[in-house]
Amino acid sequence: MLSKSLITEFENICGKNGVMTAEVDRQNYSYDAAVLDPVSPAAVVRPGSTEEIGKVLALCNENGVPVTVRGAGSNLSGGTIPMKEGIVLLTNRMNRILEINEADMYARVEPGVVTAALAAEVAGKGLFYPPDPGSQAVSTIAGNVAENAGGLRGLKYGVTKDYVMGVEFFSAQGDLVTSGAKTVKCVTGYNLAGLMTASEGTLGVFSEITLKLIPPPKASKAMMAIYDTVEDATQTVAAIIADKIVPCTLELMDNFTINAVEDFAKVGLPRDAKALLLIEVDGHPGEVAEDGARLEEICKKMGARKIQVAQNEAEKEKVWEARRAALSALARLKPTLVLEDATVPRSKIPAMVSAIEGLAKKYDLSIGTFGHAGDGNLHPTILTDRRDTAQWHKVEQCVSDLFDAALNLGGTLSGEHGIGIAKAGFMKNEVGQSSIDFSRTMKAAIDPNTILNPGKIIGM
């Protein structure tokens, strides 16, 4: 519990409305979107300005109060689950887009700006902010940067880190630190903006972020290729990449997911297909036409039973409706849904898909596999009921095996959801003890009182 005087000091900084201590409020900030146990913080503090963030941090540092920053709480790895003796620092009062600069193509935003709101605002000015995590309708920019969020366009356009030009953040001591610039090129000092990206709130608290914008593509073309074997579909992914074509989106859906989507959304998918590829290319109209035709050839050659090319916007919308419905459709089948994001090099997609199929059989679990095949980032989705202890134990073992499979194929634990507390225990398998030690040494120097999101990524 926090002392009364400390609560008063928080109130002096953020106002009475900016501090919540009631049991219900604390419980409401005890969880995020990860399937993990909730932990109620001692208080929820809601700064309304940059200065207030600094003062709150300084106060926490002096008193050894752990701070977990939270935007929308859509985190899938437990990165926003707080400590019971700590506070949740809520950023959603700071949600202004400070500047959209068309001449120099960047945007400056406060941490709590919702990603989709920024993307829409940017599009309104004829520009493009490509990162599109599935949670973008609610997730905040600072959360995206802190987790290095990905999305459907990762294959061609990269992920959040590829758009971070500069950051302003507060250190554990409450000092304002800036890094990066509004210029395309900048090599002034350590790349702290890079260090802060994917730091999951363990190294500092963002107060302002400068993001790169790009011109939007002039044309696009979408298609759906239908396969009788998963092998053919995954080999097609490898063949497309080998042919040096980079679609903006290249998504895979397995038979289990196809049927779940059909039961739920009835978009007219072939129920008997073993796999689908949803492909979109964009860019200059000439290039789109050429790549589109070549893609059809490759899909056919690799054994696609049928290829449906969207003839207009409405048909294109239908292709993507099917993909967007995947998670919802699977979510309706069982109470608990474990959405994994272990990722492999793209050429290893066929091997990863068969490894997942093997694990589903081994543990007798329902696993729907869909995801960003083009960038190797699959989402094997395990359907279960967490209340069934025996089955939950199997799920945990299955997930552990899944990580091993990805690492054995030269992959990674997390393509886009982050490590948080969900995968902190597995870090060593991927990066080795010396990497963890290096990270811990750095963290100890930056945050000697261990107040910034303790326990995340590198453990305690």
With contacts defined by CB under 8 A, name the span among 18-26, 148-156, 365-373, 446-454 that binds another protein: 18-26
Which one of 104, 385, 396, 437 is in contact with another protein (CB under 8 A)?
A: 385
Regarding 331 and contact with another protein (CB under 8 A), the answer is: yes
Whether the Cβ atoms of residue 88 and residue 68 lie closer than 8 Å to each other: yes
> Does residue 91 contact residue 57 with C-beta atoms inside 8 Å?
no
Shortest distance in whole angstroms from residue 327 CB to another protein: 6
| Contact (Cβ atoms closer than 8 angstroms) between residue 87 and residue 132 | no
Structure tokens at 304: 């696609």
Minimum CB distance to another protein smaller for 74 or for 77: 74
The CA-based dihedral angle spanning residues 141, 144, 147, 150, taken in that order and rounded to the nearest 10 degrees: -160
Instruction: Note whether 135 binds another protein by CB under 8 A.
Output: yes
Binding another protein (rule: CB under 8 A), the pick from 5, 23, 266, 311 is 23
Q: Does 116 bind another protein (CB under 8 A)?
A: yes
Q: How far apart are CA 109 and CA 118, in angstroms?
A: 9
Which residue of 58, 97, 138, 309 would you call a contact of another protein, by CB under 8 A?
138
Find out whether 54 and 174 touch, Cβ atoms under 8 Å: yes
Among 13, 14, 32, 257, binds another protein (CB under 8 A): 32
Least gap, CB of 24 to another protein (angstroms): 4
Q: Is 33 in the site for another protein (CB under 8 A)?
A: yes
The 3-class SS string of 173-223 reads: CCCEEEEECCCCCCCCCCCHHHHHCCCCCCCCEEEEEEEECECCCCEEEEE
Binding-site size for another protein (CB under 8 A) equals 34
Question: What CA–CA distance (Å, rounded) separates 441 from 425?
Answer: 18
* Strands of the 205-212 sheet, one edge to the other: 97-101, 106-109, 205-212, 164-170, 176-180
- Spatial separation of the C-alpha atoms in residues 113 and 110, rounded to whole Å: 6
For residue 242, the tally of other CB atoms under 10 A from its CB is 11
| Smallest separation, CB 73 to another protein (Å) | 6
Binding of another protein at residue 29 (CB under 8 A)? yes
Binds another protein by CB under 8 A, chosen from 84, 96, 332, 361: 332
Which tokens belong to 389? 């202890």
Site string for another protein, 37-76 (x = CB under 8 A): -x---------------------------------xxx--
Taken in order 333, 335, 338, 339, is the CA torsion positive or negative?
A: positive
User: Toward another protein, which CB reaches closer, 232 or 251?
Assistant: 251
Q: Is 31 in the site for another protein (CB under 8 A)?
A: yes
- Distance between CA 267 and CA 259 in Å, rounded? 11
Task: Tell whether residue 25 is a contact of another protein (CB under 8 A).
Answer: yes
Identified binder of another protein from the candidate list 286, 335, 425, 432, rule CB under 8 A: 335
Q: Please state the closest distance from residue 254 (CB atom) to another protein, in A.
A: 19
From 327, 406, 419, 458, residue interacting with another protein (rule: CB under 8 A): 327
Which range binds another protein by CB under 8 A, 147-155, 240-248, 279-287, 326-334? 326-334
337 binds another protein (CB under 8 A): yes
- Contact between 257 and 369 under an 8 Å Cβ cutoff? The reply is yes
What does the binding site for another protein look like in residue numbers (CB under 8 A)?
Answer: 22-25, 27-33, 38, 72-74, 90, 92-93, 95, 114, 116, 135, 137-138, 327-328, 331-332, 335-337, 385-387
